[in-house]
Structure 1
Amino acid sequence: MRHCLLSFLLLTCTFPALAGLKQDPNLIKGTLSNGLTYYIYPNDYPKGEAVYRLFIKSGSVYETEEQRGLAHFIEHMAFNGTKHFPGDGIIRFLESKGAKFGVDLNAHTSFNETVYKLQLPTSDPTMVDSTFLILSDWANGLLLDSLEIEQERGVIFSEWLSKSGPEKDAQNAFLMELLNESRFSERIVIGDTGVILGCSHQALRNYYEQWYHPKRMAVAVSGDVDPKQAKALIKKYFGSIKAPRTTTPPDYGIPLYENPRLTVVSHPSLKKIEYNHIQLLPPFEPINSKKGYQDYLKRTLLNRLLKARLAALTFEDLPYKNGSVSLSSFLNTSGVLLVSAELIPGKVNEGLNLFNQHVEQLYQYGFLNLEIDKVKKIYLSQLKRKATSKTPTPSESFMNDLYANFFVEQQMVTAQTEYALALKYLPSIDSLT
């Protein structure tokens, strides 16, 4: 009986000549004269509502030593006064319209991105206008008032304190292994307390002016909007943002491990015994060509095969729980093969040995044709249902595609296109003779 090796699925499947993927025709994408990218995706579910984003390629990895924490600090200041909404004006205005902070109004900062998020009604054209005004204020109208800066220092310091404790220490140790002594490991998002509490007001303003540059930003809307009105408002509020000359920052990566190493984090208060085996991989090819899609298809099938095989073992009385092996992208910067399991107190050695034995069997023997065919059939069936379904897709789902297009150059395609691609290329992924 034939088997399929992991390395075969990952590396050796070959396909016909490559070409670009066809963009979803419903997507309106463009670039303003100042370099700012915009996305408009009309979608009437939910009716009378839209999801908005301001994407910015700004994050802690770009900070200098003296700026550690300023990317996150700026995000906080976006809710503490803008050109058209002084003080907490944005929050008060949106709450007066029924929005809830943290649900309809939010933001996050990571190592290499900052994202501002709104989900608001569109039935009133003036509300749509105000929404784009808020987004443009975040992009180019933060007041960064001295009094507001001083008040926010304590808020951020309290957030820094909340990230301490045994469980957080264990999470940070895991994160440090993933970051592997790269630039990322030196630029944790929350920053340095000395910078948070002592940076000058001008340092914040300088960071904002440098990194909130139109060529590093995109405004996106997905929902029940008039595309012509949305495009006109984007040009109105974002077209006048100046684009000073800027330099392209280095492309910071995460190096592969040179040698095996072991890290143990132990504390009496930790509730679980977790085992993680990490292998860093080169970054995956963007899903903007048929080659990129084929690689994605192989990873998807492999993850499903691994999940199905390990799930079948859960019917046994095992000395470990929640065993998993998966391939994924990390920080849009590298690939990661993560092998993990929860070990049971009193059975740690037994569980560790048996779990590693099960994983080794996967590497050594791969999968049966029957397993591969079953996973392919289920996956195709799911794609077909999605492509033929009359059930509307939420605007939030399309926004995830717009995010991927801006930050990782992933092409946005229709469900019908994805199903057609899978029909074409899945048969080429077969077992090793």
Structure 2
Amino acid sequence: MKKLIMRSVMALAVFAGLSLPAKAQMQPQPLPVDSAVVTGVLDNGLTYYIRHNELPKGQADFYIAQKVGSILEDEHQRGLAHFLEHMCFNGTTNFPGKGIINWLESKGVKFGVNLNAYTSIDETVYNISNVPVASKAVQDSCLLILHDWACEVTLDPAEIDAERPVIHNEWSQSMVGEMRLYEKLLPVIYPDNKYGERLPIGTMEVVDNFPPQAIVDYYHKWYRPDQQGIIVVGDVDVDYIENKIKEIFGSIKMPENPAPREYVSVEETPGTIYAIGADPEVKASNVALMFKSPNLDLPREMRNTNYYFMLNYPKVMVSMMMNNRYADIAATPEAEFAKARIYAGDFFISKTMPALTLDVDPKGGDVIPAFSQAYRELLRAVRGGFTIGEYERAKSEFLSRIERAYEGRNDVENGSYVQEYVDLFL
């Protein structure tokens, strides 16, 4: 049988050092930006992305993405990033009290549905979606809301105290089985590292007791133009929106001597870390094996280049061939797992360490036979490679995916474009 031999799936970790053909051994070239997207960076460091799109007709999405999350908190600040997200809906200079919620709901934008936000470890993102934008005044007001979130949240002490029990109730509702497992396992997965102890919900000791000035200081330290991206996609005049962004956001001042935004590094592991947890509320079992691979990705500054796409293709093919094998096995009576897959991505919740992950869901509650079967199949691929037929199948699926995307290029909704630009910025 003809074989397409790959010395090791773990060779993915050194793709960045592959010897490329002569024609490829030129300087990496940046890929062109989609001509339909208007992007720019203001003098104060704020980045923006604007695109005209008419799906749905007459509507637009307005986002502000912040490179600010719970990882930036010190121990006595745990929970402030998430608390601050709540406070952005409790009064700003131009929209006092519940003004943002009330005004947008009067325009058909419902809080919790089209008006929302989320706080993560390394980011916070606010969205006003599916806004009817026939009126320029509505567009201006949505941009003004983003502006106020960026620099004009009032953080009234009375509103802060009123929000403490709201956060506490959210903590009570979220502290269910899976979250309890996270709290138990993260310090093991990330020993002596902030990623192990920075779930966005924070600690209730901090939430219940921090002085109002603490969140004011946190806000002015981290919510600043060089960490903010404005994204507007929809049925709008791009030139008009760009000029308005320059007018509304250009006057925001950068703080003097801004604190450096450093991303927390994750150490390589000497030996194997294992973390095991159980909770009565978690009925399904899962096991994941993660190979930390520092060289699995090119540096961020090289990812929008021809090199990245050339080096990414083998990773995609290996993942597709391996996952096709797993799907074929799962369809047989002898399968011990309901689902298994590998993927190249981040090491769990951290953005600074790439990893190759094997993820397995057993058919029953016993993870040992399911994981053993999936791991043996991974080792078989490492040692024996893949067949030409497996590669042709994966390549055909990959090309079909690209063709479908191309054929549907005129049917992309606002939200899909927005997510691409948010991810690009972050």
Seen in structure 2, the aligned counterparts of structure 1 residues 323 and 390 have a Cα distance that, compared at 3 Å, is closer
Give the aligned partner of residue 171 of structure 2. Answer: 160
Give the aligned partner of residue 280 of structure 1. Answer: 292
Whether 2:266 is the aligned partner of 1:254: answer yes
CA shift, 1:320, in A, is: 2.1
d(CA) in 1 for partners of 2:19, 2:316? 14
| Counterpart selection for 2:242 from 215, 231, 242 | 231
CA shift, 1:196, in A, is: 0.9
SS of structure 2 residue aligned to 1:293? helix
| Counterpart selection for 1:300 from 299, 316, 319 | 316
d(CA) in 2 for partners of 1:235, 1:67? 33
Native 8 Å contact 2:337 2:360 kept in 1: yes
SS of structure 1 residue aligned to 2:158? helix
d(CA) in 2 for partners of 1:225, 1:197? 43
**1:305-320 → structure 2 map (5 Å cutoff):** 305-317=321-333, 318-320=335-337
CA shift, 1:167, in A, is: 3.0
Whether 2:352 is the aligned partner of 1:333: answer yes
d(CA) in 2 for partners of 1:171, 1:205? 29
Native 8 Å contact 2:39 2:48 kept in 1: yes
d(CA) in 1 for partners of 2:404, 2:208? 53
User: Size of the alignment, in residue pairs?
Assistant: 407
CA shift, 1:183, in A, is: 1.9
Seen in structure 2, the aligned counterparts of structure 1 residues 352 and 250 have a Cα distance that, compared at 3 Å, is closer
Whether 2:374 is the aligned partner of 1:355: answer yes
CA shift, 1:383, in A, is: 1.1
Give unpaired runs (5+ residues) of structure 1: 408-433
d(CA) in 1 for partners of 2:74, 2:284? 37
CA shift, 1:168, in A, is: 2.4
Give the aligned partner of residue 421 of structure 1. Answer: none
Whether 2:37 is the aligned partner of 1:47: answer no
SS of structure 1 residue aligned to 2:196? helix
Seen in structure 2, the aligned counterparts of structure 1 residues 216 and 351 have a Cα distance that, compared at 3 Å, is closer
Give unpaired runs (5+ residues) of structure 2: none
Give the aligned partner of residue 393 of structure 1. Answer: 412
Report the more deviating stretch, 383-392 or 332-341: 383-392
| Counterpart selection for 1:201 from 212, 221, 236 | 212
d(CA) in 2 for partners of 1:27, 1:391? 15
Report the more deviating stretch, 157-166 or 145-154: 157-166
d(CA) in 2 for partners of 1:56, 1:388? 33
Native 8 Å contact 2:184 2:277 kept in 1: yes
Q: What percent of counterpart residues are identical?
A: 31
SS of structure 2 residue aligned to 1:306? helix
- Per-residue Cα deviation, 1:195-243 (whole angstroms, up to 9, x for no partner): 1111111111111111111111111101111012101211221111111
- Per-residue Cα deviation, 1:31-71 (whole angstroms, up to 9, x for no partner): 11211111111112111111111111111111122221111
Native 8 Å contact 2:344 2:357 kept in 1: yes
CA shift, 1:182, in A, is: 1.9
Native 8 Å contact 1:178 1:280 kept in 2: no
Seen in structure 2, the aligned counterparts of structure 1 residues 346 and 394 have a Cα distance that, compared at 3 Å, is closer
**1:25-424 → structure 2 map (5 Å cutoff):** 25-119=35-129, 120-173=131-184, 175-176=186-187, 178-245=189-256, 246-282=258-294, 284-285=297-298, 286=300, 287-317=303-333, 318-329=335-346, 330-345=349-364, 348-389=367-408, 391-407=410-426
CA shift, 1:269, in A, is: 4.3
Letter in 1 for 2:174: K
CA shift, 1:8, in A, is: 5.0
Give the aligned partner of residue 419 of structure 1. Answer: none
CA shift, 1:26, in A, is: 1.2
d(CA) in 1 for partners of 2:90, 2:143? 18
Letter in 1 for 2:20: T
Native 8 Å contact 1:284 1:334 kept in 2: no
Report the more deviating stretch, 347-356 or 283-292: 347-356
d(CA) in 2 for partners of 1:232, 1:349? 60
Across the aligned residues of Structure 1 and Structure 2, the Cα RMSD in angstroms comes to 2.0
Report the more deviating stretch, 202-211 or 37-46: 37-46
- Per-residue Cα deviation, 1:260-311 (whole angstroms, up to 9, x for no partner): 1332213444312222212222262232111122232222222211211111
CA shift, 1:174, in A, is: 5.0
d(CA) in 1 for partners of 2:48, 2:57? 22
Give the aligned partner of residue 14 of structure 1. Answer: 20
- Per-residue Cα deviation, 1:179-203 (whole angstroms, up to 9, x for no partner): 4542221322111222111111111
- Per-residue Cα deviation, 1:338-378 (whole angstroms, up to 9, x for no partner): 21222344755433432322222122222111111221122
d(CA) in 2 for partners of 1:312, 1:172? 35
Seen in structure 2, the aligned counterparts of structure 1 residues 301 and 102 have a Cα distance that, compared at 3 Å, is farther
d(CA) in 1 for partners of 2:424, 2:365? 48
Native 8 Å contact 2:60 2:235 kept in 1: yes
TM-score by length of 1: 0.88
Letter in 2 for 1:151: A
CA shift, 1:178, in A, is: 4.8
CA shift, 1:333, in A, is: 2.3
Give the aligned partner of residue 422 of structure 1. Answer: none
Native 8 Å contact 2:157 2:212 kept in 1: yes
